[in-house]
Amino acid sequence: MRKFVVVMVLGLALLLMGLTLSASALTINDPSNGETHLYQIFQSVEFNAGTYANSQALADAFVSPVYKILETLPVSSYYYEITGFYATWAGWDQTAGYYTAGNVAGSKSTPAFITTVGNHNKYTAVSLLFNPTSTFGFYDTASGDGTKATELLQNPQYGLGIPSQSNGLIFDLGGDRYIVAFEDGGAGCQPLGDKDYNDLVFNVQLTDIPVPLPPTALLLGTGLLGLVGLRRWRKTV
């Protein structure tokens, strides 16, 4: 019995240690340069997603059973929609889009769904629909700064020194709604730049618009219905 209790206590201790390590692995800073902080963007009208004291408190909240941070999103029978984005970088032109999971270099979407000229603390209301055909992640390309992805291993030159943290994060808000946030730190200030994750932030959600069936699927369905009708007709003759 004592051995069982000891094992249980040690197991619980290891579990708590693991949770502590995972929580401390994700670091999001609030810079002092006048930029809108990530937690403020979350709490704005555009991205209303809870109340946090600072961006690190937000990060800690998403290392929990309730919230989580993803690297990719699955294919859906509905369209995904971008409903506005917030840009806080200074001086970079940036382009964002999605890519087939595991292949940001070879499968970036064309055209990308966000292309914008460098501006500071600017929110842009948009409504952009897109329909990936396979599991996908998001990328952000800044002029003079390379391409960053939401998948950690798709950032070989960025951020591999920090476990479980890449230059792009997908915050899963639940209810098929997500916030994607990028850190655009330059190659000279890596890993992960200043880790503010407020350089390009956009809201993603599933719409109630079903993905239309391709013509081949419609033909197949029509053919099957025809066969069923023919069979019933023969039975009645």
Q: Sign of the C-alpha dihedral, residues 124, 45, 33, 193?
A: negative
Higher pLDDT, 176 or 210: 176
Class of domain 67-215: mainly beta
Q: What is the pLDDT of residues 1-58, one digit of tens each?
A: 454 443 343 344 433 333 333 445 788 999 888 889 999 999 987 777 788 999 999 9
Q: Is 43 helix (H, G, I), strand (E, B) or coil?
A: coil
Domain ranges of the chain: 67-215
- 137 bridge partner residues: 99
10 Å CB burial of residue 171 (0-12, 13-18, 19+) is buried
The model scores a pTM over 0.75: yes
Task: Count Cα neighbours of 71 within 13 Å in the Cβ-side half-sphere.
Answer: 16
